Amino acid sequence: MGKQIDRVINDLEGQARTFEDQTRNAIRVAIVGVNFSEAYTGYEKDRAYPAEIPPAREAPKVIPRLEERVRSKYDELLILRFKATNSAPYPFDWVDRDETCRLYGAALLRISKLYDERF
């Protein structure tokens, strides 16, 4: 995750610029998943390898970087915290399902309000 965060942030910044160039009225929304798993398996073609640093150790560093670099470029930045190992049987869970539902619902309300204001 740490190795890819700069690419992800650059992509998000570029996408925000594209939205802004198209129209000032665009409602810019970024939804980013951050893995908090204690173990993770990466794949490169036919090769599987365990993550050198588990996502759970990197996630607390990744989120502030996203907040700092991306939040101001979007009307809404929703960071979804989850746990997934990427290993069979491919378990998935939310770090806090209730919080995720609240954050998602609140974001939808704010986006709806923006829509009413702009259009």
Give the tens place of pLDDT for each residue, 63-93: 999 999 999 999 999 999 999 999 999 999 9
The pTM of the full predicted model, rounded to 2 decimals, is 0.89
C-alpha 29: how far from its chain's center?
11
**Banded model confidence at residue 114, pLDDT cuts 50, 70, 90:** very high
Number of folded domains that form the chain: 1
Give ∠ CA 104-99-117 in degrees, rounded to 5.
Answer: 30
Instruction: Provide the strand spans (E) within 1-112.
Output: 29-35, 41-44, 47-50, 76-84, 92-94
| CA dihedral sign, ordered 28, 81, 59, 49 | negative
Q: Stretch 49-66: mean pLDDT, rounded? A: 94
Q: Stretch 35-53: mean pLDDT, rounded? A: 92
Q: Which of 78, 75, 94, 77 is nearest to 36 (CA)?
A: 94
Q: In which domain, by residue range, is 110 found?
A: 5-118
Q: Which pLDDT score is estimated for 4?
A: 86
